[in-house]
Amino acid sequence: MTNPDAPLHQPGPAVDGIESVSVLGEESRRRMFAYIRRAGHPVTRDEAAASVGISRKLAAFHLEKLVDAGLLRARYGSPGAQRRVGRQPKVYEPTDAQIAVTIPERRHELLADLLLEGVLGQTDGRTAADAAAEAAADRGRRLGQRERERSRPGRLGVERGLTLCERMLDAYGYEPVRESPTQVRLRNCPFHPLAAKATALVCGLNRAFLDGYLDGLDAPAVHAVLDPRPGECCVVLTDTETPPADPDLAPAGESHR
């Protein structure tokens, strides 16, 4: 069983990748950000301005843009070891945010984390794949529990359960499409192209993650089934009365994009 207090996402703060790339599109801002990351100590506005040859006022503008984007953090304090008298200058240092932009969206860090947990959880009586599937279900379950605590939806039927699922599916890059009141198909596989290399393993983890989410959300009228179509995710969310169209996965590479 995985640690219930473990983070559901990567350790860095959540940042909008596209917004971050846009913020770094300005040359002086990008060079200033690179300087602060390499500095090894909190950087003042004067230091940041000097690093790119611009005024202190303009540097302050760019620095606050980087703070707003979640790429830098700001505080008041002396950048050196010796404490100064009076108000401390505002200093900037990098956050541990990681920037990744993929279109369509990918979640390779989640897949890597689940596979690592599988390797670490492997025992004589349990394979790495089984341990990874358990970790995936547990990860999804905790995510579903958090959503239920946040939204307090009460008893969930098929349609309302699917509606709540769509929020998470959209955030994770699945590109959900409501094909009918009782079915949501997933147009994008967040684990492509890795899913094409080990289809049964990765699609199994994907399904375990989504089933775990439904369990944590307490939506018993909905389940995740393997129902591959060319160019889409192998999993579909549907009512529990509907069996999977085909229990066998499509050949590797044909059911993902």
Residues 146, 35 share a domain: no
**Collapsing DSSP states into helix, strand and coil, what is residue 4?**
coil
How many residues are given for the chain?
A: 257
The closest of 123, 120, 121, 110 to 210, measured between CA atoms, is 110
**247 inside domain:** no
Residues 129, 184 share a domain: yes
Consecutive H or E run containing 197: helix 194-197
User: For the range 60-64, what are the long-range contacts, defined as Cβ-Cβ under 8 Å and sequence gap of 24 or more?
Assistant: 62/26, 62/28, 62/29, 62/32, 63/32, 63/92
User: Domain with 59 in it: what CATH number?
Assistant: 1.10.10.10
Q: Give the global pTM.
A: 0.62
Task: Provide the residue range defining the domain that includes 146.
Answer: 108-239
Residues 49, 130 share a domain: no
**253 inside domain:** no
Please name every residue paired with 237 in a beta bridge, in sequence order, or none if there are none.
Answer: 184, 224
User: Domain with 150 in it: what CATH number?
Assistant: 3.30.1380
Residues 186, 64 share a domain: no
- Residue 213 CB partners (closer than 8 Å, separation 6+): 140, 141, 143, 144, 147, 165, 168
Residues 178, 71 share a domain: no
Q: Which of 62, 94, 126 is the last residue of a domain?
A: 94
**28 inside domain:** yes
Q: How far apart are the C-alpha atoms of 29 and 206, rounded to whole Å?
A: 39
Residues 114, 68 share a domain: no
Residues 114, 166 share a domain: yes
Structure confidence by residue, pLDDT tens digits, 180-224: 999 999 888 888 887 788 888 889 999 999 999 999 999 999 999
DSSP 169: H
Give me the phi and psi of 107, to 5 degrees please. Answer: -130, 50
Residues 116, 44 share a domain: no
Residues 180, 84 share a domain: no
**250 inside domain:** no
Q: How many domains does the structure of the chain reveal?
A: 2
- Are residues 39 and 75 in contact, defined by beta-carbon separation less than 8 angstroms? no
Structure confidence by residue, pLDDT tens digits, 50-95: 999 999 999 999 999 999 888 899 998 765 545 555 568 899 999 8
Task: Write out the two tokens for 18.
Answer: 């596209």
Residues 204, 88 share a domain: no
Which value, to the nearest 10 degrees, does the dihedral of the CA atoms of residues 216, 221, 224, 228 take? -160
**245 inside domain:** no
Residues 112, 74 share a domain: no
Residue 253: per-residue pLDDT? 39
pLDDT at position 99 over 80: no
Please name every residue paired with 222 in a beta bridge, in sequence order, or none if there are none.
Answer: 239
Residues 87, 139 share a domain: no
